[in-house]
Amino acid sequence: MGEGLRTLLFEGDRLRLIDQTKLPTELRYVMVDDEQTAFSAIRSMQVRGAPAIGMTAAYGLYLGLKKHVDLDKEAFFGELKRQAEFLKGARPTAVNLAWAIERLVRVAHEQRAQGVRAVLNALREEAKAIQHEDERACRTMGENLQAFIKDGMGILTHCNTGALAASQYGTALAGFYVAHERGLKIHVYADETRPFLQGARLTAWELQQAGIDVTLICDNMAASVMASRKIQAVMVGADRIAANGDTANKIGTYQVAILAKYFQIPFYIVAPWSTIDPKTTSGREIPIEERPAKEVTEWGGVQIAPRDVPVYNPAFDVTPHELITAIVTEKGIYLPPYHFA
Ligand code: MRU
């Protein structure tokens, strides 16, 4: 679905999202019409992936504030502050969410003198601009990643970094779509990505729809697949990249990076510039979201672990910069040593 289905569709002042919790068995949509519905779509992971949650929060902020068009300026800006903080709290790790909200807040303050209606117009246009920029950035990342994709390659990926996670194409998967368009034959190995199964449910589905060769493996098979020389590169996305290159991504990415080092397989991060957080100096400062125990102890409402067993469920881990061969963005390819400050 490089160019096909749209994860986010903003039309007629409403935001329609593909409900990713229902894939791959059902293609259903969820509507966002204010900050509350945006928050719950992000928190429940109906929409997920760093760029997609940033865009959803931006539209959610605009739509939420639109309901307060009749407030006086002082009260409207109070509401802006409240909703911005509320939306930022939906998920803490992917910096794209706070980045998008802060962009809208800045624009609102720039337009303050023009009055509430002008501020609302500016917020809507800024949210749309973020989406258009993301579309272009994804395509460019895909093109930039061709420097590392060769015909016949086996590529391991983790989680979902495709069109579902962004506006179009995605990040690492953008590279696979571009390679496919150019007639290269690649074979993708998708980690299932426990516990939320973004690899099994979303990446396998997206790539299959696009006609790209994909084989689904369980997370604990990565070493064995690498040992059998089926993988020539690992390509994954990111939720936050610190100034020194340390990278937070879906839980399990770190162990894949360690394996890649052991097997001397290059390990690439592909992410838009908005995922780089120069204010965070190293991975130690990146807040890691912990998700509910039920995501581990149940699947599809079926209990798969003893009731009340203690669970630790961090949604992300941090891959230290020394394990990363290159960071590919829309602005170009960055090689170690990384300095994003
Ligand atoms: O918890 P998720 O599904 O939102 O986590 C998503 C990831 O970790 C992705 O790899 C990352 O956001 C990059 S998406 C282009």
User: Domains of the chain: which residue ranges?
Assistant: 8-140, 144-334
CATH class of 144-334: alpha beta
Q: Ligand 1 pocket: which of 167, 249, 329 to mutate (most atoms <8 Å of CB)?
A: 249
Backbone angles phi, psi at 102, to 5 degrees: -65, -35
Burial of 271 (0-12, 13-18, 19+ CB in 10 A): buried
Q: Confirm or reject: Cβ of 50 under 6 Å from ligand 1.
A: yes
9's enclosing H/E stretch is strand 8-11
The pTM for the full model equals: 0.97
Catalytic residue set: 239
Tokens at residue 335, please? Answer: 């090689």
Q: In what order do the strands lie in the sheet with 332-334?
A: 214-217, 187-191, 154-157, 233-236, 267-270, 326-329, 332-334
54's enclosing H/E stretch is helix 50-66
Q: CA separation (Å) from 116 to 36, 79, 119?
A: 21, 12, 5
Q: Would you say 48 is a known binding-site residue?
A: yes
Tokens at residue 324, please? Answer: 């990363």
Please give the chain's pLDDT, 341 residues, in tens.
545 679 999 999 999 999 999 999 999 999 999 999 999 999 999 999 999 999 999 999 999 999 999 999 999 999 999 999 999 999 999 999 999 999 999 999 999 999 999 999 999 999 999 999 999 999 999 999 999 999 999 999 999 999 999 999 999 999 999 999 999 999 999 999 999 999 999 999 999 999 999 999 999 999 999 999 999 999 999 999 999 999 999 999 999 999 999 999 999 999 999 999 999 999 999 999 999 999 999 998 999 999 999 999 999 999 999 999 999 999 999 999 999 98
ipTM: 0.98
Q: Confirm or reject: Cβ of 249 under 6 Å from ligand 1.
A: yes
8-140 CATH fold: Four Helix Bundle (Hemerythrin (Met), subunit A) (1.20.120)
**How many other CB atoms are found less than 10 A from the CB of residue 329?**
23
Q: Confirm or reject: Cβ of 165 under 6 Å from ligand 1.
A: yes
Tokens at residue 86, please? Answer: 């509320």
